Amino acid sequence: MRGGRSSRHRATGRLARAVRDLSGEREGQSTVEYALVIFAFLALLAALASLWGAARDGALVDIARQAASHGLSQGLTPDALQDIALF
């Protein structure tokens, strides 16, 4: 009987070690996922800040005005009408 108990204890010890190893991998995976989400959020924040700066300086309005003048200078072609309708 004693041999059976020790092998059972060894199996339990191996199982406990395997569970600890798996939990360590999950913690590492969550750290990587957290870093990726933070990086994506910061990239989104930087893009919004650059758009805000362009809108504040009037660059977006100038681009829209130039695009509208190019489209209307050619007359009301079917492509121009489609662009206006889809806008």
**DSSP type of residue 21:** H
Domain count, the chain: 1
pLDDT in the model for residue 39: 96
pLDDT in the model for residue 30: 83
The Cα 39–Cα 41 span in angstroms is 5
Predicted TM-score (pTM) of this structure: 0.46
Query: Rg for the chain (alpha carbons), in Å?
Result: 31
- 29 is in which domain, residue-wise? 2-86
Q: Are 71 and 83 in contact (CB under 8 A)?
A: yes
Type of residue found at 38: I
| Of 84, 48, 47, 55, the residue nearest 67 (C-alpha) | 84
pLDDT in the model for residue 42: 97
pLDDT in the model for residue 70: 62
Q: Which residues, given as ranges, of the chain have pLDDT below 50?
A: 1, 3
Residue 19 tokens read as 């569970």
